Every structure is written in structure tokens, then in C-alpha cells.
Amino acid sequence: MIRVQRGRGGWVSSGGKLARAVAVVSLGAMLALAGCSSKKTQGLNDGNNPNALGEGGVNGSGQGSLEQLTKGTLGQGQQGPLTDIHFAYNEYTIQPQDGSILRGNASWLQKNASSRVQVEGHCDDRGSEEYNIALGAKRAQAAKEYLVTLGIPGDRISTISYGKELPVCTEHDESCWSQNRRDHFVVNQ
């Protein structure tokens, strides 16, 4: 399960799962890769291609928040058939008023049975980066579990957290914070 990314004259990343097998083969893989590695005096440019998503990623719509960051369109409005839900500060419980939004999202997913959705968990900019990534994961998971209880198969729903890294609103006040504490739903049809 080794994946290799070879950059534009950049460094070599060898990656893999943390399975025992990797521990055994990784040294050999690294030695093999060492020969391919070209030197660079500055930076680790792995030539990341935004269309080459990692495993678990959802591709196709171009509406993922990280893709929007890469393209420079984050915060300029996000289109898609599904509606965001929002959270209270430092909370990941689905709020009662968002139940109807989730039922609407589930209804769309049932009508579009071949579609997959990635739930993105986001936070406002208060708190530490790492804690907020974990909190965003809780928020994404909460929406996934809600959709599953509404009959959407769990294997059609993936989750990812961006913590506080991808705000759609950048002022430091409650009106922005409440917009940023969100689950965003990215559909791949």
C-alpha cells in the first residue's frame, strides 16, 4: 500500500498505511526511491495536483472547500444541491432547526442514488488548530450519522475536517463565526 508522489523536480514522498507490512517494506521502498530523488535547495514542492485527490477524497464537483482554496474561490459562494448546517460554539450536536435541512439533503441523496457526498466539518477561528480539526471531525461525523439514520447508506458518505483552516467569512465577530461553524456537503455524482 505504498503510494508515491513524485514532484516537479521536488522531493519524493513515499507514503503508506501504518500497517505492519509497511514497516517491513518501507525501508526497501525508501532505498529504492532514494535513487529517484532529485535535489532541491528550497522547499518541498510535491507538485500537488488538485485533481489528484487522496484516498477518501471526493472528486469531480470542484466544490470542495480545499479545492476552492487552491483555486482562490473560497468564500465566493459554494454551489451544490445540498445545504450547509451550522453549530454552536465548541459543540458538535446537530441543532434542532437543522433537522429539516438534513432531511432535505437526505431526500436529494435518495433521489440521486448514484451520488456520493463528502461532509466537511468546519470551525470558527477561536481555539487551537489541532483541537478544531478534531472538533470539525466530530461535526462531520454527526451529520453523517444523522443521514444514515435517515436511510442513506454510510458507504455513500465520507467525512473530512478542515478545522478552522477554511473560513468562508474572515471577520472576527459572531456573525462570521456562526457562518464558519458549519458542515458543508460536497456531492460527487
Contact residues for another protein, defined by CB under 8 A: 3, 5, 10-20, 22-23, 26-27, 30, 33-34, 37, 39-40, 42-46, 48, 50, 52-57, 64, 66-67, 69-70, 72, 74, 90, 92, 126-131, 133-135, 137-138, 140-142, 159-163, 165-166
Q: How far is the CB of 183 from another protein (least distance, A)?
A: 12
Closest separation in Å from C-beta 97 to another protein: 21
- Is the C-alpha dihedral spanning 64, 83, 166, 79 positive or negative? positive
Minimum separation from the CB atom of position 84 to another protein (A):
18
DSSP string, 88-137: -TT--SPPGGGHHHHHHHHHHHHHSTT-EEEEEEE--S-S-HHHHHHHHH
Q: What distance in Å separates the CA atoms of residue 142 and residue 83, rounded to the nearest whole number?
A: 15
In the complex with another protein, which residue's Cβ is closer, 111 or 130? 130
Output 15 or 151, the one with its CB closest to another protein.
15
Residues 135/159, Cβ–Cβ less than 8 Å: no
Q: Give the shortest CB-64-to-another protein separation in angstroms.
A: 8
- Comparing CB distances to another protein, the nearer of 165 and 169 is 165
**How far apart are CB 168 and another protein at their closest, in Å?**
13
Of 48 and 112, nearer to another protein (C-beta) is 48
d(CA 8, CA 68): 22
Question: Based on CB atoms, which residue is closest to another protein, 23 or 88?
Answer: 23
- DSSP annotation of 56 reads T
Please give the DSSP secondary-structure letter assigned to residue 36: T
In sequence order, which residues have a C-beta less than 8 Å from that of residue 32 and are 6 or more positions away?
A: none
